[in-house]
């Protein structure tokens, strides 16, 4: 028995469990959206963060990383127990087909039955589902939310860089990250009106320069 898990958010750069193989690729008919609340890592119950989940979208593809866990039932069990604790705000697990980049006009999946954590897009049945919002509103929430594991904007900027590192940047992620940067560059008197105020420390931090020289300022 072999366990495969697809990561499309923080799992891309921080899997956190023991795995045997990592492959960059994509799944079909899903797109990444920032519609899920996080209240215990990058946000709080009073001021939830926005993290990404998947939304069904015919014809779309979502790039990320697939992780393979081999070594028997105990190793797989430990990986799943860790993932279920970490991904507790996702109320569903779906099995998907996983593809890698190739020149074929009719690509075939290299792995089937890959587990992906998703969330039900229903505010009644899923208390963590925030739903869509205007770009500026989402950016304001991401710019100000903070929790035990850090602030929300760091999550977004790390995702932006992770997509760059795997050479599959996503326009939606870039657009949202740039809007957050605009929010952080607002005059101090305007930022003071934004709640919650997550820190008195300057939001400017040392820029990280990737190997291909793109700057991801946070």
Percent of the chain at pLDDT exceeding 90: 78
Q: What span, in angstroms and rounded, lies between the C-alpha atoms of 106 and 194?
A: 49
Predicted confidence at residue 186, as pLDDT, reads: 64
Percent of the chain at pLDDT exceeding 70: 83
Predicted confidence at residue 197, as pLDDT, reads: 31
What pTM does this model have?
0.84
Mean pLDDT throughout 72-92?
Answer: 94
Predicted confidence at residue 217, as pLDDT, reads: 54
CATH number, domain containing residue 80: 3.10.490.10
Tokens (6 digits) for 194 = 């934004």
Domains: count for the chain: 1
Mean pLDDT score of the chain: 87
Q: Quick check: helix, strand or coil at residue 15?
A: coil
* pLDDT at 17 exceeding the cut of 60: yes
Which tens digits make up the pLDDT trace of 44-64? 999 999 999 999 999 999 999
Predicted confidence at residue 205, as pLDDT, reads: 28
Beta strands, E only, the chain = 3-7, 21-38, 49-69, 92-98, 111-118, 146-147, 150-151, 208-209, 215-216
* pLDDT at 102 exceeding the cut of 80: no
Q: What span, in angstroms and rounded, lies between the C-alpha atoms of 208 and 36?
A: 27
Q: What span, in angstroms and rounded, lies between the C-alpha atoms of 118 and 138?
A: 20
Q: What span, in angstroms and rounded, lies between the C-alpha atoms of 41 and 24?
A: 25
Predicted confidence at residue 173, as pLDDT, reads: 97
Quickly tell me which residue has 């903070």 as its tokens: 146
Mean pLDDT throughout 183-199?
Answer: 56
Q: Per-residue confidence at 202, pLDDT binned at 50, 70, 90?
A: very low
Please give the residue range of the domain that contains residue 76. Answer: 3-216
Predicted confidence at residue 208, as pLDDT, reads: 33
Predicted confidence at residue 216, as pLDDT, reads: 59
DSSP β-ladder status, 208-209 and 111-118: unpaired
For 68-94, the DSSP string reads EE-S-HHHHHHHHHHHHHHTTT--EEE
Q: Contact 102/41 with Cβ under 8 angstroms? A: no
The residues that are catalytic are: 87
Which tens digits make up the pLDDT trace of 106-146? 789 999 999 999 999 999 999 999 999 999 999 999 999 99
Q: What span, in angstroms and rounded, lies between the C-alpha atoms of 9 and 54?
A: 10
Q: What span, in angstroms and rounded, lies between the C-alpha atoms of 11 and 64?
A: 9
Predicted confidence at residue 103, as pLDDT, reads: 59
Predicted confidence at residue 185, as pLDDT, reads: 83
């Amino acid at each position: 028995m072999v366990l495969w898990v697809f990561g499309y958010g923080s799992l891309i750069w921080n899997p956190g469990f023991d795995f045997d193989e990592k492959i960059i690729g994509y799944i079909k008919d899903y797109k990444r959206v920032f519609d899920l609340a996080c209240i215990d890592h990058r946000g709080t119950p009073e001021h939830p963060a926005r993290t990404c989940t998947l939304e069904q979208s015919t014809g779309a593809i979502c790039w990320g990383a697939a992780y393979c866990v081999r070594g028997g039932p105990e190793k797989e069990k430990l990986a799943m127990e860790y993932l279920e604790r970490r991904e507790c705000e996702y109320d569903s697990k779906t099995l998907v087909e996983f593809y890698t980049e190739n020149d074929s006009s009719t690509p075939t999946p290299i792995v089937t039955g890959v587990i992906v954590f998703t969330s039900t897009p229903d505010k009644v049945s899923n208390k963590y589902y925030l739903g869509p919002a205007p770009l500026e509103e989402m950016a304001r929430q991401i710019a100000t939310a903070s929790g035990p594991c850090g602030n929300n904007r760091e999550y977004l900027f790390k995702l932006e860089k992770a997509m760059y590192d795997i050479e599959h940047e996503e326009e939606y992620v870039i657009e949202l990250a740039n809007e957050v940067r605009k929010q952080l560059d607002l005059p101090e008197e305007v930022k003071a009106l934004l709640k919650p105020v997550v820190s008195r420390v300057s939001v400017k931090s040392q820029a990280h320069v990737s190997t291909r020289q793109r700057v991801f300022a946070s």
